[in-house]
Structure 1
Amino acid sequence: MKFNTPLINGRILKRYKRFLADIELLEDTPLNKKGDIIVAHTANTGSMKTCWDLNWPVLLSYHDNPKRKLKYSLEMTHNGKSWIGVNTSLPNKLAIEAIENSVISELQDFEIIKPEKKIGDSRLDIWLYSGDKKSPSKQCYVEVKNVTLLGDDELALFPDSVSERGQKHLKELTKLKTDSIRACMLYIVQREDVNRFSPADKIDPTYAKLLKEAFENDVEILVYQCSLNELEIKVDRKIPLIL
Protein backbone atom coordinates (compact mmCIF):
# COMPACT_ATOMS: atom_id res chain seq x y z
CA MET A 1 0.00 0.00 0.00
CA LYS A 2 1.63 3.19 -1.20
CA PHE A 3 0.79 6.45 0.52
CA ASN A 4 -1.05 8.88 -1.75
CA THR A 5 1.02 11.86 -0.66
CA PRO A 6 4.49 12.14 0.92
CA LEU A 7 4.50 11.59 4.67
CA ILE A 8 5.75 14.30 7.01
CA ASN A 9 8.62 13.88 9.47
CA GLY A 10 8.20 14.72 13.11
CA ARG A 11 9.05 13.60 16.60
CA ILE A 12 6.55 12.51 19.22
CA LEU A 13 6.28 14.39 22.51
CA LYS A 14 3.17 12.90 24.06
CA ARG A 15 0.32 10.47 23.41
CA TYR A 16 -2.89 11.02 25.39
CA LYS A 17 -6.66 10.53 25.48
CA ARG A 18 -6.12 7.45 23.26
CA PHE A 19 -6.59 9.32 20.00
CA LEU A 20 -4.28 12.33 20.36
CA ALA A 21 -0.53 12.87 20.08
CA ASP A 22 1.59 16.01 20.36
CA ILE A 23 4.16 16.09 17.56
CA GLU A 24 6.99 18.50 16.80
CA LEU A 25 7.26 18.94 13.06
CA LEU A 26 10.70 18.45 11.53
CA GLU A 27 9.78 20.02 8.21
CA ASP A 28 7.47 22.64 6.76
CA THR A 29 3.96 21.57 5.76
CA PRO A 30 1.19 23.31 3.81
CA LEU A 31 -0.25 24.46 7.15
CA ASN A 32 2.67 24.71 9.59
CA LYS A 33 6.36 25.47 9.85
CA LYS A 34 9.24 23.27 10.96
CA GLY A 35 9.43 23.34 14.75
CA ASP A 36 5.70 23.85 15.28
CA ILE A 37 4.01 21.51 17.76
CA ILE A 38 0.77 20.11 16.38
CA VAL A 39 -1.88 17.67 17.61
CA ALA A 40 -2.20 14.57 15.44
CA HIS A 41 -5.07 12.11 15.34
CA THR A 42 -3.98 8.64 16.46
CA ALA A 43 -6.19 5.90 15.04
CA ASN A 44 -5.27 3.31 17.65
CA THR A 45 -7.43 2.13 20.56
CA GLY A 46 -4.66 0.02 22.12
CA SER A 47 -2.04 0.99 24.67
CA MET A 48 0.66 1.46 21.98
CA LYS A 49 3.10 -0.09 24.43
CA THR A 50 6.59 -0.45 22.86
CA CYS A 51 5.41 1.77 19.99
CA TRP A 52 6.53 5.18 21.18
CA ASP A 53 8.71 7.06 23.60
CA LEU A 54 9.66 10.68 23.98
CA ASN A 55 11.34 12.13 20.86
CA TRP A 56 10.98 9.01 18.70
CA PRO A 57 10.82 9.88 14.98
CA VAL A 58 7.34 9.66 13.47
CA LEU A 59 5.68 9.94 10.07
CA LEU A 60 2.44 11.84 9.64
CA SER A 61 -0.10 12.10 6.85
CA TYR A 62 -1.66 15.50 6.11
CA HIS A 63 -5.34 15.83 5.21
CA ASP A 64 -6.58 19.10 3.72
CA ASN A 65 -10.21 18.36 4.49
CA PRO A 66 -12.36 21.21 5.86
CA LYS A 67 -14.47 18.69 7.78
CA ARG A 68 -11.45 17.43 9.74
CA LYS A 69 -10.64 19.17 12.99
CA LEU A 70 -7.18 17.53 13.14
CA LYS A 71 -5.32 17.84 9.86
CA TYR A 72 -2.58 15.32 10.71
CA SER A 73 -2.73 11.58 11.34
CA LEU A 74 -0.01 9.55 13.02
CA GLU A 75 1.00 6.75 10.66
CA MET A 76 4.31 5.32 11.91
CA THR A 77 6.85 5.63 14.70
CA HIS A 78 10.49 4.53 14.72
CA ASN A 79 12.36 2.92 17.64
CA GLY A 80 15.80 3.09 16.05
CA LYS A 81 15.46 -0.36 14.47
CA SER A 82 12.16 -0.39 12.63
CA TRP A 83 9.24 1.70 11.51
CA ILE A 84 6.10 0.65 13.40
CA GLY A 85 2.68 1.02 11.79
CA VAL A 86 0.33 2.38 14.45
CA ASN A 87 -2.64 3.39 12.30
CA THR A 88 -5.12 0.58 12.98
CA SER A 89 -7.38 1.65 10.10
CA LEU A 90 -4.82 0.22 7.64
CA PRO A 91 -4.45 -3.53 8.41
CA ASN A 92 -7.70 -4.51 6.66
CA LYS A 93 -6.57 -2.67 3.52
CA LEU A 94 -3.13 -4.27 3.77
CA ALA A 95 -4.69 -7.72 4.16
CA ILE A 96 -7.01 -7.32 1.18
CA GLU A 97 -4.15 -6.02 -0.98
CA ALA A 98 -1.99 -9.00 0.06
CA ILE A 99 -4.79 -11.45 -0.75
CA GLU A 100 -5.37 -9.82 -4.13
CA ASN A 101 -1.63 -9.93 -4.89
CA SER A 102 -1.40 -13.63 -3.90
CA VAL A 103 0.99 -12.86 -1.03
CA ILE A 104 -1.20 -14.72 1.47
CA SER A 105 -1.12 -18.08 -0.27
CA GLU A 106 -3.61 -19.70 2.11
CA LEU A 107 -6.42 -17.33 1.07
CA GLN A 108 -6.52 -17.73 -2.69
CA ASP A 109 -8.98 -18.94 -5.35
CA PHE A 110 -12.01 -17.01 -4.15
CA GLU A 111 -14.06 -14.99 -6.62
CA ILE A 112 -15.17 -12.22 -4.25
CA ILE A 113 -13.47 -10.31 -1.45
CA LYS A 114 -16.00 -8.46 0.69
CA PRO A 115 -14.86 -6.12 3.49
CA GLU A 116 -16.80 -6.58 6.71
CA LYS A 117 -19.46 -9.23 7.07
CA LYS A 118 -21.98 -9.41 9.87
CA ILE A 119 -21.99 -12.76 11.59
CA GLY A 120 -23.81 -13.48 14.84
CA ASP A 121 -23.77 -10.31 16.93
CA SER A 122 -20.51 -8.94 15.52
CA ARG A 123 -18.76 -8.10 12.26
CA LEU A 124 -15.72 -9.89 10.91
CA ASP A 125 -13.28 -7.99 8.73
CA ILE A 126 -13.24 -9.95 5.47
CA TRP A 127 -15.56 -12.44 3.79
CA LEU A 128 -14.12 -14.45 0.90
CA TYR A 129 -16.48 -16.49 -1.24
CA SER A 130 -17.15 -18.04 -4.61
CA GLY A 131 -20.43 -18.78 -6.30
CA ASP A 132 -23.82 -17.43 -5.30
CA LYS A 133 -23.81 -14.94 -2.42
CA LYS A 134 -26.77 -16.60 -0.69
CA SER A 135 -25.38 -20.08 -1.17
CA PRO A 136 -21.63 -19.83 -1.88
CA SER A 137 -19.82 -22.86 -3.22
CA LYS A 138 -16.95 -22.04 -0.84
CA GLN A 139 -16.31 -19.31 1.69
CA CYS A 140 -13.97 -18.14 4.44
CA TYR A 141 -14.44 -15.59 7.20
CA VAL A 142 -11.30 -13.67 8.15
CA GLU A 143 -10.70 -11.47 11.18
CA VAL A 144 -7.67 -9.13 10.94
CA LYS A 145 -5.66 -7.74 13.85
CA ASN A 146 -2.84 -5.20 13.85
CA VAL A 147 0.23 -6.39 15.79
CA THR A 148 2.73 -3.86 17.14
CA LEU A 149 3.66 -5.05 20.64
CA LEU A 150 7.30 -6.11 21.04
CA GLY A 151 8.12 -8.81 23.58
CA ASP A 152 11.38 -10.47 24.55
CA ASP A 153 13.69 -12.13 22.01
CA GLU A 154 12.18 -10.46 18.93
CA LEU A 155 8.73 -11.85 19.69
CA ALA A 156 5.62 -10.01 18.45
CA LEU A 157 2.63 -10.12 20.79
CA PHE A 158 -1.11 -9.41 20.67
CA PRO A 159 -3.04 -7.79 22.24
CA ASP A 160 -1.29 -4.86 23.91
CA SER A 161 -4.20 -4.38 26.35
CA VAL A 162 -7.17 -6.49 27.41
CA SER A 163 -9.36 -6.92 24.32
CA GLU A 164 -12.92 -8.02 25.00
CA ARG A 165 -13.75 -7.28 21.38
CA GLY A 166 -10.90 -9.53 20.25
CA GLN A 167 -12.14 -12.27 22.58
CA LYS A 168 -15.58 -12.00 21.01
CA HIS A 169 -14.14 -12.35 17.50
CA LEU A 170 -12.26 -15.52 18.45
CA LYS A 171 -15.48 -17.02 19.80
CA GLU A 172 -17.25 -16.18 16.54
CA LEU A 173 -14.49 -17.77 14.47
CA THR A 174 -14.54 -20.92 16.60
CA LYS A 175 -18.32 -21.19 16.29
CA LEU A 176 -18.08 -20.82 12.51
CA LYS A 177 -15.55 -23.62 12.33
CA THR A 178 -17.63 -25.93 14.52
CA ASP A 179 -20.47 -25.24 12.06
CA SER A 180 -18.14 -26.48 9.28
CA ILE A 181 -17.50 -22.99 7.85
CA ARG A 182 -13.91 -22.03 7.11
CA ALA A 183 -12.59 -19.40 9.53
CA CYS A 184 -9.25 -17.62 9.77
CA MET A 185 -7.54 -15.33 12.27
CA LEU A 186 -5.04 -13.16 10.38
CA TYR A 187 -2.43 -11.13 12.27
CA ILE A 188 -0.74 -8.32 10.36
CA VAL A 189 2.57 -7.46 12.05
CA GLN A 190 3.52 -3.85 11.33
CA ARG A 191 7.12 -3.83 12.53
CA GLU A 192 10.30 -5.46 11.19
CA ASP A 193 12.26 -6.05 14.39
CA VAL A 194 10.41 -9.30 15.23
CA ASN A 195 10.55 -12.80 13.79
CA ARG A 196 7.83 -14.79 15.61
CA PHE A 197 4.36 -14.23 17.04
CA SER A 198 2.58 -15.31 20.20
CA PRO A 199 -0.52 -14.26 22.14
CA ALA A 200 0.20 -11.87 25.00
CA ASP A 201 -0.98 -14.19 27.76
CA LYS A 202 0.37 -11.97 30.56
CA ILE A 203 -1.68 -9.02 29.31
CA ASP A 204 -4.89 -10.84 28.31
CA PRO A 205 -4.88 -14.49 29.46
CA THR A 206 -8.48 -14.95 28.32
CA TYR A 207 -7.59 -13.93 24.78
CA ALA A 208 -4.60 -16.30 24.77
CA LYS A 209 -6.80 -19.15 26.01
CA LEU A 210 -9.44 -18.47 23.35
CA LEU A 211 -6.78 -18.33 20.62
CA LYS A 212 -5.46 -21.75 21.65
CA GLU A 213 -9.02 -23.12 21.70
CA ALA A 214 -9.63 -21.68 18.23
CA PHE A 215 -6.45 -23.34 16.97
CA GLU A 216 -7.46 -26.67 18.51
CA ASN A 217 -10.82 -26.37 16.74
CA ASP A 218 -9.03 -25.91 13.39
CA VAL A 219 -9.51 -22.17 13.00
CA GLU A 220 -6.61 -21.14 10.76
CA ILE A 221 -4.15 -18.83 12.51
CA LEU A 222 -2.00 -16.90 10.04
CA VAL A 223 0.73 -14.38 10.88
CA TYR A 224 2.12 -12.15 8.15
CA GLN A 225 4.74 -9.43 8.59
CA CYS A 226 5.02 -6.13 6.77
CA SER A 227 7.94 -4.20 5.39
CA LEU A 228 7.63 -0.50 6.11
CA ASN A 229 9.27 2.66 4.80
CA GLU A 230 8.47 6.30 4.14
CA LEU A 231 6.72 5.48 0.85
CA GLU A 232 4.71 2.33 1.51
CA ILE A 233 3.69 -0.49 3.81
CA LYS A 234 3.22 -3.93 2.35
CA VAL A 235 2.64 -7.44 3.60
CA ASP A 236 5.47 -9.61 2.32
CA ARG A 237 6.28 -12.62 4.51
CA LYS A 238 4.82 -15.20 6.84
CA ILE A 239 6.35 -15.66 10.30
CA PRO A 240 5.96 -18.53 12.79
CA LEU A 241 3.16 -18.79 15.33
CA ILE A 242 4.16 -19.83 18.87
CA LEU A 243 1.35 -21.19 21.06
Structure 2
Amino acid sequence: MTDLVKAIFRNRENRFIAEVEIDGEIVRAHLPNTGRCKELLIDGVTVYLKPSDNPNRKTKYSLHLIENNGALVAMYSQQASKIVIDAILNGKVKELSGYDIVGSEKTIGNSRIDIYLANLDDDNNPVDEAYVEVKSVTLIKDGIAQFPDAPTERGRKHLEELISLKKEGIRSVVFFLIEHPNGNSFRPNWENDPKFSKTLKRAYDEGVEILVYKTENTLENIELVENSLKFNLDK
Protein backbone atom coordinates (compact mmCIF):
# COMPACT_ATOMS: atom_id res chain seq x y z
CA MET A 1 0.00 0.00 0.00
CA THR A 2 2.97 2.31 -0.40
CA ASP A 3 1.09 4.07 -3.23
CA LEU A 4 -1.38 5.61 -0.76
CA VAL A 5 -2.14 9.31 -1.17
CA LYS A 6 -2.44 11.48 1.94
CA ALA A 7 -5.48 13.78 2.02
CA ILE A 8 -7.85 15.69 4.32
CA PHE A 9 -11.43 14.55 4.78
CA ARG A 10 -13.99 17.29 4.15
CA ASN A 11 -17.47 15.85 3.69
CA ARG A 12 -19.49 12.69 3.11
CA GLU A 13 -21.49 13.42 -0.02
CA ASN A 14 -23.55 10.24 0.25
CA ARG A 15 -23.30 6.65 1.44
CA PHE A 16 -20.53 5.77 -1.03
CA ILE A 17 -18.80 9.07 -1.85
CA ALA A 18 -16.51 11.24 0.29
CA GLU A 19 -15.12 14.65 -0.56
CA VAL A 20 -11.44 14.98 0.34
CA GLU A 21 -8.83 17.67 -0.14
CA ILE A 22 -5.54 16.94 -1.91
CA ASP A 23 -3.08 19.83 -2.16
CA GLY A 24 -5.91 22.36 -1.85
CA GLU A 25 -8.15 20.68 -4.42
CA ILE A 26 -11.47 18.99 -3.52
CA VAL A 27 -11.65 15.47 -4.96
CA ARG A 28 -14.42 12.85 -4.76
CA ALA A 29 -13.35 9.43 -3.45
CA HIS A 30 -15.15 6.11 -3.09
CA LEU A 31 -16.06 5.30 0.50
CA PRO A 32 -15.93 1.49 0.86
CA ASN A 33 -17.72 1.41 4.21
CA THR A 34 -21.52 1.68 4.43
CA GLY A 35 -21.56 2.27 8.20
CA ARG A 36 -22.34 5.72 9.56
CA CYS A 37 -18.76 6.23 10.86
CA LYS A 38 -19.73 9.65 12.23
CA GLU A 39 -17.08 9.44 14.94
CA LEU A 40 -14.44 8.89 12.24
CA LEU A 41 -15.53 11.01 9.28
CA ILE A 42 -14.86 14.43 10.77
CA ASP A 43 -13.97 17.49 8.72
CA GLY A 44 -10.21 18.05 8.84
CA VAL A 45 -9.01 14.56 9.77
CA THR A 46 -6.19 12.92 7.83
CA VAL A 47 -7.11 10.11 5.46
CA TYR A 48 -5.14 7.89 3.11
CA LEU A 49 -6.49 7.12 -0.33
CA LYS A 50 -5.83 4.14 -2.54
CA PRO A 51 -5.62 5.15 -6.22
CA SER A 52 -7.17 3.08 -9.00
CA ASP A 53 -6.07 2.84 -12.61
CA ASN A 54 -9.47 1.51 -13.73
CA PRO A 55 -10.67 3.99 -16.42
CA ASN A 56 -14.30 2.88 -15.92
CA ARG A 57 -14.46 3.99 -12.29
CA LYS A 58 -16.36 7.14 -11.40
CA THR A 59 -13.74 8.04 -8.78
CA LYS A 60 -9.97 7.80 -8.99
CA TYR A 61 -9.49 7.01 -5.30
CA SER A 62 -10.89 4.86 -2.49
CA LEU A 63 -10.69 6.00 1.13
CA HIS A 64 -8.55 3.28 2.68
CA LEU A 65 -7.35 4.45 6.10
CA ILE A 66 -8.32 7.26 8.46
CA GLU A 67 -6.59 8.70 11.52
CA ASN A 68 -8.60 8.63 14.75
CA ASN A 69 -7.35 9.18 18.31
CA GLY A 70 -3.76 8.41 17.38
CA ALA A 71 -4.58 5.25 15.44
CA LEU A 72 -4.95 4.25 11.81
CA VAL A 73 -8.42 2.80 11.20
CA ALA A 74 -9.07 0.52 8.22
CA MET A 75 -12.10 1.74 6.28
CA TYR A 76 -12.28 -0.94 3.58
CA SER A 77 -14.96 -3.07 5.25
CA GLN A 78 -15.43 -5.12 2.07
CA GLN A 79 -11.92 -6.53 2.55
CA ALA A 80 -12.61 -7.80 6.06
CA SER A 81 -13.48 -11.34 4.94
CA LYS A 82 -10.30 -11.51 2.81
CA ILE A 83 -8.23 -10.47 5.83
CA VAL A 84 -9.84 -13.24 7.88
CA ILE A 85 -9.39 -15.84 5.12
CA ASP A 86 -5.70 -14.97 4.81
CA ALA A 87 -5.33 -15.27 8.58
CA ILE A 88 -7.05 -18.68 8.60
CA LEU A 89 -4.77 -19.92 5.80
CA ASN A 90 -1.74 -18.68 7.74
CA GLY A 91 -2.83 -20.41 10.95
CA LYS A 92 -3.50 -17.20 12.88
CA VAL A 93 -7.05 -18.12 13.90
CA LYS A 94 -6.57 -21.16 16.12
CA GLU A 95 -10.32 -21.74 16.47
CA LEU A 96 -10.64 -22.18 12.70
CA SER A 97 -7.51 -24.17 11.94
CA GLY A 98 -7.21 -27.60 10.33
CA TYR A 99 -9.71 -27.32 7.48
CA ASP A 100 -8.97 -28.77 4.03
CA ILE A 101 -11.22 -26.27 2.24
CA VAL A 102 -11.20 -22.53 2.87
CA GLY A 103 -13.60 -20.80 0.50
CA SER A 104 -15.62 -17.61 0.29
CA GLU A 105 -19.20 -16.50 -0.24
CA LYS A 106 -21.44 -19.54 -0.09
CA THR A 107 -25.19 -18.97 -0.53
CA ILE A 108 -27.42 -20.25 2.24
CA GLY A 109 -31.13 -19.49 2.09
CA ASN A 110 -31.46 -15.85 1.07
CA SER A 111 -28.00 -14.88 2.31
CA ARG A 112 -24.40 -15.24 1.24
CA ILE A 113 -22.16 -16.25 4.13
CA ASP A 114 -18.63 -14.84 3.88
CA ILE A 115 -16.48 -17.91 4.54
CA TYR A 116 -17.04 -21.64 3.98
CA LEU A 117 -14.80 -24.24 5.64
CA ALA A 118 -14.82 -28.02 5.30
CA ASN A 119 -12.73 -31.15 5.53
CA LEU A 120 -12.75 -33.91 2.91
CA ASP A 121 -13.55 -37.57 3.48
CA ASP A 122 -11.81 -40.46 1.69
CA ASP A 123 -13.99 -39.87 -1.39
CA ASN A 124 -13.20 -36.15 -1.45
CA ASN A 125 -16.68 -35.20 -0.29
CA PRO A 126 -16.96 -32.23 2.08
CA VAL A 127 -17.58 -33.07 5.75
CA ASP A 128 -17.26 -31.15 9.02
CA GLU A 129 -18.58 -28.04 7.31
CA ALA A 130 -18.47 -24.60 8.95
CA TYR A 131 -19.88 -21.23 7.95
CA VAL A 132 -18.30 -17.97 9.11
CA GLU A 133 -19.92 -14.54 8.73
CA VAL A 134 -17.46 -11.63 9.10
CA LYS A 135 -18.43 -8.21 10.44
CA SER A 136 -16.05 -5.25 10.21
CA VAL A 137 -16.06 -3.12 13.38
CA THR A 138 -14.76 0.46 13.58
CA LEU A 139 -16.92 2.03 16.33
CA ILE A 140 -15.02 2.30 19.64
CA LYS A 141 -16.45 3.58 22.93
CA ASP A 142 -14.14 3.67 25.97
CA GLY A 143 -11.88 1.05 24.41
CA ILE A 144 -14.80 -1.29 23.66
CA ALA A 145 -15.59 -2.11 20.02
CA GLN A 146 -19.30 -2.08 19.19
CA PHE A 147 -21.32 -3.31 16.22
CA PRO A 148 -23.31 -2.13 14.38
CA ASP A 149 -22.88 1.63 14.22
CA ALA A 150 -26.15 1.83 12.25
CA PRO A 151 -29.18 -0.51 12.36
CA THR A 152 -28.62 -3.47 10.03
CA GLU A 153 -31.50 -5.71 9.03
CA ARG A 154 -29.15 -7.49 6.63
CA GLY A 155 -26.79 -8.29 9.49
CA ARG A 156 -29.65 -9.61 11.59
CA LYS A 157 -30.73 -11.90 8.74
CA HIS A 158 -27.19 -13.28 8.54
CA LEU A 159 -27.47 -14.21 12.22
CA GLU A 160 -30.81 -15.95 11.57
CA GLU A 161 -29.17 -18.00 8.80
CA LEU A 162 -26.36 -19.01 11.17
CA ILE A 163 -28.91 -20.05 13.80
CA SER A 164 -30.70 -22.20 11.21
CA LEU A 165 -27.42 -23.84 10.16
CA LYS A 166 -26.52 -24.57 13.78
CA LYS A 167 -29.92 -26.19 14.35
CA GLU A 168 -29.06 -28.51 11.44
CA GLY A 169 -25.88 -29.52 13.24
CA ILE A 170 -23.54 -27.40 11.11
CA ARG A 171 -20.83 -25.32 12.79
CA SER A 172 -21.68 -21.62 12.56
CA VAL A 173 -19.53 -18.66 13.53
CA VAL A 174 -19.94 -14.88 13.56
CA PHE A 175 -16.52 -13.24 13.38
CA PHE A 176 -16.15 -9.63 14.53
CA LEU A 177 -13.02 -8.10 13.03
CA ILE A 178 -12.12 -4.92 14.92
CA GLU A 179 -10.37 -2.69 12.39
CA HIS A 180 -9.70 0.11 14.89
CA PRO A 181 -6.54 -0.63 16.94
CA ASN A 182 -7.99 1.12 20.02
CA GLY A 183 -10.65 -1.57 20.46
CA ASN A 184 -9.66 -4.18 23.06
CA SER A 185 -12.93 -6.06 23.60
CA PHE A 186 -16.38 -6.29 22.00
CA ARG A 187 -20.05 -5.82 22.80
CA PRO A 188 -23.10 -5.50 20.55
CA ASN A 189 -24.44 -1.97 20.16
CA TRP A 190 -27.67 -2.40 22.12
CA GLU A 191 -28.34 1.34 22.11
CA ASN A 192 -28.13 1.65 18.31
CA ASP A 193 -29.60 -1.66 17.12
CA PRO A 194 -31.42 -3.65 19.83
CA LYS A 195 -32.83 -6.11 17.26
CA PHE A 196 -29.39 -7.16 16.01
CA SER A 197 -28.03 -7.27 19.56
CA LYS A 198 -30.90 -9.43 20.82
CA THR A 199 -30.52 -11.79 17.85
CA LEU A 200 -26.77 -12.05 18.46
CA LYS A 201 -27.37 -13.04 22.08
CA ARG A 202 -29.97 -15.61 20.99
CA ALA A 203 -27.57 -16.95 18.35
CA TYR A 204 -24.89 -17.46 20.99
CA ASP A 205 -27.38 -19.18 23.30
CA GLU A 206 -28.32 -21.47 20.36
CA GLY A 207 -24.68 -22.50 19.89
CA VAL A 208 -23.46 -20.07 17.22
CA GLU A 209 -19.85 -19.27 18.06
CA ILE A 210 -18.55 -15.72 18.42
CA LEU A 211 -14.95 -14.86 17.60
CA VAL A 212 -13.40 -11.42 18.09
CA TYR A 213 -10.05 -10.43 16.62
CA LYS A 214 -8.55 -7.11 15.64
CA THR A 215 -6.19 -5.84 12.98
CA GLU A 216 -2.87 -4.08 13.11
CA ASN A 217 -2.89 -1.28 10.55
CA THR A 218 0.03 0.46 8.88
CA LEU A 219 0.38 2.36 5.63
CA GLU A 220 1.97 -0.78 4.19
CA ASN A 221 -0.35 -3.49 5.45
CA ILE A 222 -3.52 -4.48 7.31
CA GLU A 223 -3.35 -7.85 9.04
CA LEU A 224 -5.04 -9.77 11.80
CA VAL A 225 -3.41 -9.88 15.23
CA GLU A 226 -2.93 -13.46 16.35
CA ASN A 227 -4.99 -13.63 19.56
CA SER A 228 -8.72 -13.51 20.16
CA LEU A 229 -10.39 -10.89 22.35
CA LYS A 230 -13.11 -11.07 24.97
CA PHE A 231 -16.74 -10.12 24.38
CA ASN A 232 -19.74 -9.26 26.54
CA LEU A 233 -23.27 -9.70 25.17
CA ASP A 234 -25.09 -8.12 28.13
CA LYS A 235 -27.29 -5.09 27.53
2:107 is matched with which residue: 91, 98, 118?
Answer: 118
Q: How far, CA to CA, are the matches of 2:58 and 2:127 in structure 1? A: 46
Correspondence for 1:155: 144
Task: Give runs of aligned pairs for residues 112-191 of structure 1, distance below 5 A.
Answer: 112-131=101-120, 135-151=125-141, 153-191=142-180
Q: State whether structure 2 residue 48 is matched by structure 1 residue 62.
A: no
**Kept in 2: contact 1:49–1:149 (CA 8 A):** no
What residue identity is the alignment partner of 2:228?
K
Q: How far, CA to CA, are the matches of 1:205 and 1:134 in structure 2? A: 43
Q: How far, CA to CA, are the matches of 2:40 and 2:170 in structure 1? A: 36
Task: Give runs of aligned pairs for residues 15-94 of structure 1, distance below 5 A.
Answer: 15-25=12-22, 34-94=23-83
Deviations 1:69-112 (A, max 9, x none): 20100011111321111111110110101101111110011111
Correspondence for 1:28: none
Unpaired runs of at least 5, structure 2: none
Q: How far, CA to CA, are the matches of 2:217 and 2:56 in structure 1? A: 29
2:10 is matched with which residue: 10, 13, 35?
Answer: 13
What residue identity is the alignment partner of 2:127?
S
Q: How far, CA to CA, are the matches of 2:107 and 2:206 in structure 1? A: 21
Output the aligned Cα RMSD. 1.4
Q: Secondary structure at the match of 2:63?
A: strand
What residue identity is the alignment partner of 1:139?
E
What residue identity is the alignment partner of 1:150?
I
What residue identity is the alignment partner of 1:20?
I
Q: How far, CA to CA, are the matches of 1:39 and 1:216 in structure 2? A: 45
- Alignment identity in percent? 38
Q: How far, CA to CA, are the matches of 1:49 and 1:169 in structure 2? A: 24
**Kept in 2: contact 1:48–1:86 (CA 8 A):** no
Correspondence for 1:225: 214
Q: CA deviation at 1:218?
A: 1.2
**Kept in 2: contact 1:51–1:86 (CA 8 A):** no
Q: Secondary structure at the match of 1:89?
A: helix
1:198 is matched with which residue: 176, 183, 187?
Answer: 187
Q: How many residues align?
A: 231
Deviations 1:146-198 (A, max 9, x none): 000112x2111000111000000000101111111000000111011121100
Q: How far, CA to CA, are the matches of 2:53 and 2:24 in structure 1? A: 20
Q: How far, CA to CA, are the matches of 1:71 and 1:90 in structure 2? A: 18
Unpaired runs of at least 5, structure 1: 26-33
Q: Secondary structure at the match of 2:77?
A: coil
Q: How far, CA to CA, are the matches of 1:158 and 1:80 in structure 2? A: 19
TM-score, scaled relative to structure 2: 0.95
**Kept in 2: contact 1:59–1:74 (CA 8 A):** yes
Deviations 1:207-228 (A, max 9, x none): 0000001111111100000010
Q: CA deviation at 1:134?
A: 8.9
Q: Secondary structure at the match of 1:43?
A: coil
What residue identity is the alignment partner of 1:147?
V
